[in-house]
Structure 1
């Protein structure tokens, strides 16, 4: 006699629902950024550099939880697009610094507005208290699991 094993349904998992919402939010934002010629990963680097005058690729990598190689690839793409510049660190001629170009300084607020609008599209149906509770619960999960890597893709 064989035992019938119960298998939970896909939608019985909170992760399923989180992924459904996350995918929709991320894909919508990616499409909006694509209209500006920027990827989500490039946006994350641009937004990070926006808060710093100049910073090293290794510091950016540590901040974003990415490898220095990944930052270098992103930086190369953004240099090709004329959005960031790389220069020698005057304090250490072997090291390099990354900074936004003037064109990127004008672009980042526009991209941030796209991020804000995307959030509004997906979360405006929540009452302020519901949104605050959702954020609190997500931050609790992040803290409890020790999640530190910034989503960049």
Structure 2
């Protein structure tokens, strides 16, 4: 392995860890985990969705989703109901309390991301997006 490859790996890892550490501070302020935030963000953006659609959107393993969903239901932030069109599926949606909470968290999370990448130019961002999309398509 080339030293340059290893340096790139560590640079990416450090960057991800920094963003996640700062994001975790926001989530914990609202008594949320990263997984809970991710599910709530998808439902806030897309509205009522099946568990499978949420899982595909956030790229989380299937084993974690039911636990996270159950915890959000216990907190009164989410409801799960059987799909009338397909009784095998369940649909998730945010409660009013869930919508109110995520409406506070998303702007803080967005501001964190904006600040973190503020020193990176638009062209550089597009280049990075293309590079990471190519790498993740492998």
TM-score under structure 1 length normalisation: 0.77
Structure 2 counterparts to residues 127-142 of structure 1, below 5 A = 130-142=120-132
How many angstroms does 1:9 deviate by?
Answer: 8.5
Deviation at 1:147, TM superposition (A): 4.1
Q: Give the number of aligned pairs.
A: 137
1:26, 1:50 → 2: CA distance?
A: 21
Change (3 A) 1:42 1:131: farther
From 104, 128, 134, the equivalent of 1:144 is 134
Q: Does 1:110 align with 2:100?
A: no
From the superposition, tell whether residues 144 and 115 of structure 1 become closer, same or farther in structure 2 (CA, over 3 Å).
Answer: same
Q: Which runs of 4+ in 1 moved over 6 A?
A: none
Which structure's CA Rg is the greater one? 1
Pair 118,103 (structure 1): closer, same or farther in 2 beyond 3 Å:
same
Q: How does 1:119-130 map to 2 (within 5 A)?
A: 119-124=113-118, 126=119, 130=120
- Which residue is 2:45 aligned to? 51
1:39 aligned to 28, 33, 38, which one? 33
- Normalised to the residue count of structure 2, the TM-score between the two structures is 0.85
Equivalents in 2 of 1:55, 1:144: separation in Å?
A: 28
Structure 2, unpaired ranges of 5+ = none
- Which consecutive residues of structure 1, in runs of 5 or more, have no partner in the other structure? 1-6, 149-153
- For 1:91-149, what per-residue CA distance to the aligned partner results, in whole angstroms no more than 9, with x for missing partners? 1223211000111111112111111221244233x1xxx3323321221122322449x
2:83 is aligned to: 89
Give 1:3's aligned residue. none
